[in-house]
Amino acid sequence: MKKSTVSLALLGAALAVGSAFANAAAPDWSKVPKRQIEVFAPGVTPIEWMMNKSDHSGRISKGESCAGCHEEKGALNFNFKRMASKELEPVGAPKTIKFPVTTQAAYDKENLYIRLTFKAPTDAPAGADKEEKAPFHEVKAAIMLAGPKVEMGEQIGCWATCHKDVRSMPGADPKKKKYIKDANVAGGNYMDYFQWKSGDAGGGATQLDGHVAAERINKGGQALVSAEGECKAGLCMVTFTRKLSGGEGDLALAEGQKVPFGIAIHADKTIHRFHHVSLAYTLGLGVDADIKASK
């Protein structure tokens, strides 16, 4: 082979490799549409509490989602005075009962990319982070995706995992974790989730790739490529890169698919239910949804 031919062959190979990396590269976030989602402190309002309200259960049974009723022009319309009351948060609600999370999503042939940008509050009630010995991460951010067989998954989102008998609920078992009723991973009745933890004085940031079935499992997922975040002056930006497919507990995604999802933010070193969560929304890969991921 002539030298010029070899050079051209090498150049072609390099361009092919470069193209492959370009296809898998993170998106230009300045060009990805933004959607504001408000998260709020839910207090002691598990799925049983919600479905015991006739105005809730009646509308949900007719197919309406929580967001369809409680979100107006991008903002939540709850009675936040009640949300902050001793009735719904006996330990004491944070002063910042709600805050906005700017949400962006994109995808390519291999990965899903999600970016969350928010100002993390620092006014958690005293004692909310004192329930167990643990490394208290200043901020944690998570995404939860509902499997196709989760009952009312598109309507209620992560409330399908939140029950009155799980830890930190009044009078509940302190060791019982979140779970899905009649969970079946192989059958699609579970929640896939991944999380970024900011780190603490003893170490750097970490990430989790797990799922919620009969209980919450914080490991085993193979789809999360990276969870990267940074908080400066209270402003946090967290970017998740997740393969479209993975292993057991990793919900398989594909172009043209719409999947229910939710957001959870633990701020000010909080743990368990002392977080801010979103209602259920939908994420569409190239199809219309509450959040339409850009290709």
Domain assignment present for residue 108? The answer is yes
Q: Read off the pLDDT of each residue in 276-290 and give the average, rounded to a whole number.
A: 97
Q: Is residue 279 part of a domain?
A: yes
Task: Find the domain containing 67 and state its range.
Answer: 31-293
Query: Looking at the domain assignment, is residue 11 inside a domain?
Result: no
Q: Tokens standing for 85?
A: 């009351």
3-state SS, residue 144: strand
Instruction: For residue range 126-135, list pLDDT tens digits in order.
Output: 767 655 566 6
Does an H or E element contain 6, and which?
Answer: helix 3-24
Q: Structure tokens of 64? A: 């309406």
Q: Which pLDDT score is estimated for 68?
A: 86
**Which tops the pLDDT comparison, 54 or 45?**
45
pLDDT bin (cut points 50, 70, 90) of residue 42 is very high
Q: Dihedral through CA 265, CA 266, CA 268, CA 274, nearest 10?
A: 120
Judge whether residue 19 has pLDDT over 50: no
Residue 14, domain member (yes or no)? no
Q: Is residue 187 part of a domain?
A: yes
Asked if the model's pLDDT at residue 75 lies above 60, the reply is yes
Largest CA distance in the chain: 82
274 falls in which pLDDT band (50, 70, 90)? very high
Mean pLDDT of 225-244: 95
pTM to 2 decimal places: 0.89
Residue 153 DSSP one-character state: H
| pLDDT recorded at residue 58 | 73
Whether residue 81 has pLDDT greater than 90: yes
| Total of domains in the chain | 1
Amino acid symbol at 41: A
State the pLDDT at residue 69.
Answer: 87
pLDDT greater than 50 at residue 260 = yes
H/E element holding 206? Answer: strand 206-212
Task: Answer whether residue 120 is part of any domain.
Answer: yes
For 141-193, the pLDDT digits (tens) are: 999 999 999 999 999 999 999 999 999 999 999 999 999 999 999 999 999 99
pLDDT at residue 12 in the model: 45
SS3 278: coil
261 located within any domain: yes
**Average of per-residue pLDDT values in the chain:** 88
Q: What percent of the chain has pLDDT over 90?
A: 74
pLDDT tens per residue, range 194-231: 999 998 755 689 999 999 999 999 999 999 999 999 99
Domain of 248, CATH number, reads: 2.60.40.1190
pLDDT at 16: 42
Percent of the chain scoring above 70 in pLDDT: 87
Inside any domain, residue 113: yes
DSSP 9-78: HHHHHHHHHHHHHHHHSPP-GGGS--EEEEEE---S--HHHHHTSHHHHHHHHTT--HHHHHEETTEE--
pLDDT recorded at residue 234: 84
